[in-house]
């Protein structure tokens, strides 16, 4: 995949759609079948990524408020907004073990400080540290 194409899979909120299971799932796989069983229409799987589908994420009803906000503010990423970080990006303990929403601000700061190409290179490692890492106080999540 070309660098620009891959970079376009990073959502304005900092979520990397390119490594999301909704994007990488394969028709007929167990995960694909679980998504169908949960009521997600077959034509929305695999998800093409937030920017391609213009904020109509298959797992939410309607258009993503954060995506709409980014369009209204005429920025590419939330960190470019004068209100960053806002409450739309605030972490929550609710479903933190299942959803990547708590990674958004860290991801956006990484993109802002190190660049999008660098973020895409380390995005999968960040996801592994988040979901599989064991927290070491003062050191962060260790794998």
The contacts of residue 31 (CB under 8 Å, 6+ apart) are 21, 25
Q: How many CB atoms lie within 10 A of CB 71?
A: 13
Banded model confidence at residue 1, pLDDT cuts 50, 70, 90: low
For residue 37, whether the previous peptide bond is cis, meaning omega lies within 30 degrees of 0, is: no
Q: 3-state class of 51 per DSSP?
A: coil
Paired tokens of 4: 């620009």
| Tally of domains in the chain | 1
pLDDT tens-digit series, residues 79-117: 999 999 999 999 999 988 888 889 999 999 999 999 999
Nearest Cα residue to 20 out of 56, 41, 43, 45: 45
Domain around 50: 3-142
Paired tokens of 72: 């209204």
């Amino acid at each position: 995949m070309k660098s620009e194409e891959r970079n376009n899979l990073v959502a304005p909120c900092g979520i990397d759609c390119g490594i999301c299971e909704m994007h990488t799932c394969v028709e007929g796989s167990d995960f694909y079948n679980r998504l169908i069983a949960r009521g997600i229409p077959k034509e929305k799987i695999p998800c093409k990524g937030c920017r391609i589908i213009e904020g109509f994420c298959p797992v939410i009803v309607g258009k993503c408020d954060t995506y709409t906000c980014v369009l209204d503010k005429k920025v590419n990423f939330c960190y470019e907004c004068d209100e960053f970080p806002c409450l739309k990006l605030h972490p929550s303990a609710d479903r933190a073990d299942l959803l990547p929403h708590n990674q958004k601000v860290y991801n956006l700061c990484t993109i802002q400080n190190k660049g999008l190409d660098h973020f895409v290179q380390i995005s999968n490692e960040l996801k592994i540290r988040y979901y599989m890492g064991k927290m070491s106080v003062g050191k962060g999540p260790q794998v």
